[in-house]
Amino acid sequence: QQPVQSPQAVILREGEDAVINCSSSKALYSVHWYRQKHGEAPIFLMILLKGGEQKGHDKISASFNEKKQQSSLYLTASQLSYSGTYFCGTVPMDSNYQLIWGAGTKLIIKP
Amino acid sequence: NAGVTQTPKFQVLKTGQSMTLQCAQDMNHEYMSWYRQDPGMGLRLIHYSVGAGITDQGEVPNGYNVSRSTTEDFPLRLLSAAPSQTSVYFCASSYSIGGGTEAFFGQGTRLTVV
């Protein structure tokens, strides 16, 4: 039931792009993306509702393919501040609207 | 706005002891929840509440109790601490139940049970 995130970890140079994927076996109402830095609370990035819409702000965007129950987070021209662990949270249609979290993708940005 | 406030930030308990983790929010959010975070496992839902007087179990409720007497407060009680409850605990709130609105997290409580 837990969504599968890939990759588990990625190391980039500053300025490079990254894609993080989140896949569920269940029909989804929405997908949430959060970033967590070490020792801190998760911080909200964006929500995607079913409908295949793409969202973004600054150089971080995401898409949601409701037919495949997959979401991807795109980080363009990565900055040092993007380092952290990225979590997707999925809300299955049959879950009483509870968030179910992936295990996270650790992103390391090097200068 | 303070947002979501959790206390304490760190706690060490002996096996068998009980304690209460405090959580308060000042955003008038109806939905509040408690998660535990273990390495490599993401966040797992312990208990949640959709309003004052209403609570329900999440994925891993055993060993924990909650109550919601006011909109603002949602304490988590460990009844008899066990080493398996060593974890980082996060309280979160959102305007409505999980699906379509942003969750705001407290700063977490790092609990060690020895």
Q: Which of A38, A45, A57, A101 to mutate to probe the B interface, most B CBs <10 Å?
A: A101
Q: Which of B6, B105, B109 to mutate to probe the A interface, most A CBs <10 Å?
A: B105
pLDDT at B2: 77
Chains A, B: CB contacts within 8 A come to: 57
Q: Which of A2, A44, A97 sits opposite B98 (nearest CB)?
A: A97
- The list of chain B residues with pLDDT below 50 reads none
The DSSP code sequence of A15-73 is T--EEEEEE-SS-EEEEEEEEE-TTS--EEEEEEETTT-EEEETTEEEEEETTTTEEEE
pLDDT at A85: 96
Does B58 reach chain A within 8 Å, measured CB to CB?
yes
pLDDT at A52 over 60: no
pLDDT at B42: 86
Pairing mode, if any, of strands B76-78 and B19-25?
antiparallel
Q: Is the Cβ pair A99, B40 closer than 8 Å?
A: no
Average pLDDT over residues A45-69: 81
Q: Is the Cβ pair B43, A97 closer than 8 Å?
A: no
Q: Please give the Cα distance from B81 to B16 (Å, whole number).
A: 5
What tens digit of pLDDT does each residue of A22-48 get? 999 999 988 999 999 998 999 999 989
pLDDT at A35: 96
CA of A79 vs chain B CAs: smallest distance (Å): 24
Q: Which of A30, A41, A100 sits opposite B108 (nearest CB)?
A: A41
Residues of chain A contacting residue B41, judged by C-beta atoms under 8 Å apart: 103
Average pLDDT over residues A63-81: 92
